[in-house]
Structure 1
Amino acid sequence: MTQDQLMIFMLLGTMLILFSWGKIRYDVISLGALCISALIGLVPVQGMFRGFGHNAVITVAAVLVISAGLQNSGFVDFLVAKIIRYGKTLRGQTFILTFSVAIFSAFMNNVGALSLFLPAALRISRMNKYPASRMLMPLAAASLLGGMMTLVGSPPNIIISSFREASIGTGYRMFDFFPIGAPLTVAGILFTVLIGYRLIPERKATATKEDLFEIKDYTTMVEITAGSNLIGQSLKELGQKYFSEVQVIAYVRDKEKYAYVSPFLVLQEGDRLILQGSTKQVQDFLRLSKLPLSGSAPVETADFSGEGVIVSEVVVTDTSNLIHRTAKDMALRSNFNVNLLGVARAGVRLAESPNRISIQSGDVLLLQGTQGSIQEIVRDLGALPLMERGIEMKPKSTVALSIGLFVAAIVLVTAEVLPADLSFTIAALLMVLTGVISLRKAYEAIELPILILLGSLIPVSEALETTGAAHLIASKIVLLSATVPNWGILLILMAITMMLTNIINNAAAALLMAPIAISMATGLGLNVDAFLICVFVGATSAFMTPIGHQSYTLIMGPAGLQFRDYWKLGLPLSLLVMAVTLGVVMILYPV
């Protein structure tokens, strides 16, 4: 083993530990790995950022914009509204939802496809008193399976195609993955909906927000009495001294309830304030303000909505700016005019004062504010609403244009008239120029964390090859598998990739394993496609943990799932995927 090989193995080992730890975001880890690689000479300093101009990065960015353009036109929401009307039985509705998510995932962002159907799935589970966990996990699995059917279904597909192009001169075409992805999708959905759902624990997460968030447990009503030094001052003026630990989430004046509280509200004698905070925080406030408790009855969730004001549940995505921060840190009230009424994690409302809770990916937040303010926080801070949205269709010409541009891009790629990166970039650009999607929304649709990960790890992945580390790993695997038939080597490769993708980002798993797969195929003199397909499927099959893919993180809070719940369905589903993949690969790419 050379010094360079030792250094890159140490770097990759550190990366895997940090990815598994989960305290540092994957894009930061990846960028750090790139910088270290350049500093120690594994990656040339002059070309260390060339990965950001790689065709895989450009294609992923363009597809994200196109996906957002289709959603922005209202066409996707219109289709979803039509689809969910079908299915007379619960099992039938589950089939329709899962297959729909899979089909949408084949052509758009996996998480985006899942989020479209998430509110409807929650409503159906609540109406039928069916565990949300058994409804949402098949949907999340379908979003991953459906993404295997086309070139643009998920980032690993595009990455594997770029490695094939570098290896043999041509990448995969638009529907080259379909013969693999289609049987996997059908088999996976049939298994999860008909058999596998029994393996999913019945977590109590189907309750309404009134049941999940017992607001009365941590709210108190106080009255502004005559002579109080708070009279005549605004909440903003009093904030630092009196309301730094508790917040006013509603108030009563002249027997009228006001669900929305402006920071510029000037307090008057007789006002009754509904405060949110822990027992100690409220006691500290009462001691400081010398105000008495009001004798009113406890307040419920419904008391915080009114004219122009709503109470809404949102789920925190794994790219949200809220992660590892508190509502107090983010100053949600002053910056967004939104109150955080409660936080639920794994289907359980956290008893701690909401403003002091460090928010995690997958948490469900109960927010109070205007429709506009909640939409703003959803857009700017990376959260997804759990309420069903209204359909806002753009003019028919805009809808037709969005569909036409998308279909044209697919046709050009399929016919090999244009490469995928150029075709989809042109389609995304035309969507912006024709007003299908605004420039601001286009930039918001581009997930910078995944692009930074790709741009950073592409040079690191290349260093695996240039240092000979990929060949060394490949030779060791082949040596250990000397008595194993070729199909067994494929299984081992797929299993290793699956284990990786369940603890690190799927794109990172593909980037790390693709050069090893090519070295193995070259060393054995076998069809490189068989090995790349196994890596592609393995990297996309993050079924066993909530951290391998955003879709599985997204359902954790709404479904009330715990970390240990995922492998119960994920393990047999992964074994099924391996069996089906091996069967198809041995037919299409015999080794």
Structure 2
Amino acid sequence: MTPEQAGLFAIFGSVFALLVWGRIRYDLVAFAALIIGVVAGLVPTDHAFSGFGHPAVVIIALVLLVSRALSNSGAVELIASRLISGDRPTSAHIGIMSVAGAALSAVINNVAALALLMPLDIEAAERAKRAVAQSLMPLSFATILGGMITMIGTPPNIVIAQYREGALGEPFQMFDFAPVGLLVAVAGIAFVTLIGWRLLPSRAGAEALLEQAETELYVAELLVGEGSKSDGVTLGDLYPMADEADINLLGLIRRGRRLPGFSRREPIQAQDTLVVEGDPKAIEGFMGKAGLDFAGSERHEGGITGGSLTLMEAIVPDGARIAGRTAMGMQLLYREGVTLLGIARRGQQVRDRVRLMQIEPGDVLLFLGSPERLDGAARSLGILPLEGRRTGVVQRRKAGLAIGIFAAAILAAVAGLVYLPVALAACAVAYAGLGLIGGGEVYEAIEWKVIVLLASLIPLGEAFEASGGAELIAGGIVDVTQGLPAWVILLALMVVTMTLSDFLNNVATTLIAAPVAVQIAGRLEVSADPFLMGVAVAASCAFLTPIGHKNNTIIMGPGGYRFGDYWRMGLPLELLVLAIAVPAILTVWPL
């Protein structure tokens, strides 16, 4: 072992230990390791920051942007809204949610897919009076499995595709991962649906978590626009939809005056305003199902379809500038660029128009506006935004257009007409032009910690390979498995990669294992493709711990899981993945 190899092994060993320890952010660990490598002369100075312009980094950032915009358009909601039912058996519910999660993860980031479907799964568990722990982990695992189907579904596939271009002269294409990834995903989903969930604990406590997550109930006003599906029906006709969305219908406003009583039998007319009560997400969801708009939203830079709007909850402290005044009196939209949509007042029933109510200290207010305007209004009005209580407004009228643009970008890239990063960038620009993602969201949507991690480790990985470190590890694996068939060596590489991925970030694991895969193939004098594909599959399959994949971390709290619970379903699933993937890889990508 040369001094250069020893130095790089020491850096990667320290990175591994610090990532497993978990007390220091992984992006800081990786960036510090890069700087140490440059200062020590192990990474060429002119390559120190080359990772930040690497195609894999660009693609991951753009996929996150596109995922956020598709979510904002309501494209995902078209699928998700049909999944909820408290009447289905547990296996049927898990199967439907898992298939939906895997399908979404194939075309958008798998973390985004889980974030979109997890609230629906929790809601279904609440309706069925079932512990959410039984279904949340299967959903998480299904989104991880679905990400393996396409190149853009999961970061390891993106990294492997771009690494192949550097090592072999041509990258994997968008659907090169599909034959193996689809087979593994189908087998994995069948397992979690029929067997896996039965291995999980049925702990009580999900209801308590749900109760803790309850928000204030706001009285808000929803506008009936021209051509709305609610135009012409009675208020009573909307009661089943309101019950499903978990909101209360309180009455009807016509020509600026509230009609007496609950107006249950009153036919709804265009330009009427419905008075509803519920939490922000429930109100926003009902608005979409009933074809309504937030009253006043049409004046926000072209209305609800004209820009990226957000609901913000904030409390009114003593001494706030808004206390003792009304929204109309303060001309909030004109002066601050925000609309007061709802008021929650310590459980009291609100009878006045929202914009005419005098605000009191202790009220919790619901505002509509762009994120930048909301932040400015909070400072100006002296109110205190509630942490973690912002809800994006879905721009449902643009769902079809958003799907069409995304499909066109992917088809153009697959057909070789446009370079994939350029196609995704054009898609993101189009979404920004349509107002599906705002200027602030462009930066919020990108997970910068992952970007810095990947960009920092790429130069280290290149230096590690150039120094012969990857060849050294590959030689060790080949020597240990000397005389055994090539499929056994592929299996050994996948087991090592899978084990690393359970404790390391999957991007870091891929960057370490990819050069080793190519070196092993070179020593065996066989194609490198099956070994690279094996690394892609294994790096994605982090099912044993809550730290191996971000999706596993996300579900730990809401599901009430303990560290050891992941082994119950994760270990047999990883064994199943190996049993399915190895023969599938060797069939599709022969040696």
**Normalising by structure 1, what TM-score?**
0.71
Instruction: Give 1:438 shift.
Output: 1.7
The equivalent of 1:162 in structure 2 is 162
Alpha-carbon displacement from aligned partner over 1:252-294 (angstroms, at most 9, x marks no partner): xxxxxxx95514279xxxxxxxxxxxxxxxxxxxxxxxxxxxx
Q: Work out the CA distance in 2 between the residues paired with 1:173 and 1:151.
A: 7
Q: Secondary structure at the match of 2:399?
A: helix
1:566 paired with 2:570, answer no
Report the residue type matching 1:549 in the other structure: H
Q: Secondary structure at the match of 1:106?
A: helix
* Contact 2:556 2:562 (8 Å CA) reproduced: yes
Instruction: Give 1:197 shift.
Output: 1.3
1:264 paired with 2:319, answer yes
* Contact 2:108 2:152 (8 Å CA) reproduced: yes
Cα RMSD (Å): 3.1
* Contact 2:180 2:588 (8 Å CA) reproduced: no
Could you tell which deviates more after superposition, 53-62 or 401-410? 401-410
The equivalent of 2:42 in structure 1 is 42
Instruction: Give 1:419 shift.
Output: 2.0
Could you tell which deviates more after superposition, 426-435 or 407-416? 426-435
Instruction: Give 1:527 shift.
Output: 1.5
Instruction: Give 1:503 shift.
Output: 0.8
Report the residue type matching 2:84 in the other structure: I
Closer, same or farther in 2 for the Cα pair 1:382/1:104, shift >3 Å? farther
Report the residue type matching 2:29 in the other structure: I
Instruction: Give 1:369 shift.
Output: 5.2
Report the residue type matching 2:453 in the other structure: L
* Contact 2:470 2:515 (8 Å CA) reproduced: yes
The equivalent of 2:125 in structure 1 is 125
Instruction: Give 1:77 shift.
Output: 2.0
Closer, same or farther in 2 for the Cα pair 1:213/1:409, shift >3 Å? closer
Instruction: Give 1:440 shift.
Output: 1.8
Closer, same or farther in 2 for the Cα pair 1:47/1:181, shift >3 Å? same
Query: Within 5 A, what are the aligned runs for 1:81-480?
Result: 81-84=81-84, 88-209=88-209, 260-264=315-319, 370-372=365-367, 392-395=394-397, 398-480=398-480
Instruction: Give 1:372 shift.
Output: 4.8
Q: Work out the CA distance in 2 between the residues paired with 1:130 and 1:488.
A: 43
The equivalent of 1:62 in structure 2 is 62
Q: Work out the CA distance in 1 between the residues paired with 2:366 and 2:504.
A: 36
* Contact 1:133 1:205 (8 Å CA) reproduced: no
Closer, same or farther in 2 for the Cα pair 1:415/1:560, shift >3 Å? same
Instruction: Give 1:408 shift.
Output: 1.1
Q: Work out the CA distance in 1 between the residues paired with 2:91 and 2:387.
A: 29
Instruction: Give 1:3 shift.
Output: 0.0
- Size of the aligned set, in residue pairs, is 451
* Contact 1:131 1:206 (8 Å CA) reproduced: yes
Closer, same or farther in 2 for the Cα pair 1:263/1:496, shift >3 Å? farther
The equivalent of 1:509 in structure 2 is 509
Q: Work out the CA distance in 1 between the residues paired with 2:365 and 2:151.
A: 40
Report the residue type matching 2:173 in the other structure: R
Q: Secondary structure at the match of 1:82?
A: coil
Q: Work out the CA distance in 2 between the residues paired with 1:423 and 1:213.
A: 39
Alpha-carbon displacement from aligned partner over 1:377-398 (angstroms, at most 9, x marks no partner): 9x9999977x9x7973343xx3
* Contact 1:58 1:425 (8 Å CA) reproduced: no
* Contact 1:84 1:96 (8 Å CA) reproduced: no
Q: Work out the CA distance in 2 between the residues paired with 1:54 and 1:129.
A: 48
Q: Work out the CA distance in 2 between the residues paired with 1:382 and 1:511.
A: 40
Q: Work out the CA distance in 2 between the residues paired with 1:384 and 1:142.
A: 26
1:540 paired with 2:540, answer yes
Could you tell which deviates more after superposition, 558-567 or 71-80? 71-80
Alpha-carbon displacement from aligned partner over 1:509-547 (angstroms, at most 9, x marks no partner): 111110111111111111111100110011100101001
* Contact 2:86 2:124 (8 Å CA) reproduced: no
Q: Secondary structure at the match of 2:161?
A: helix
Q: Work out the CA distance in 2 between the residues paired with 1:503 and 1:88.
A: 36
The equivalent of 1:317 in structure 2 is none
Instruction: Give 1:118 shift.
Output: 0.8
Instruction: Give 1:460 shift.
Output: 0.7
Q: Work out the CA distance in 2 between the residues paired with 1:563 and 1:382.
A: 30
* Contact 1:31 1:452 (8 Å CA) reproduced: yes
Instruction: Give 1:433 shift.
Output: 2.6
* Contact 1:106 1:146 (8 Å CA) reproduced: yes
* Contact 1:152 1:174 (8 Å CA) reproduced: yes
Report the residue type matching 1:14 in the other structure: S
Report the residue type matching 1:137 in the other structure: M
Q: Work out the CA distance in 2 between the residues paired with 1:140 and 1:52.
A: 29
Q: Which runs of 5+ in 1 are unaligned?
A: 216-258, 267-301, 309-337, 340-367
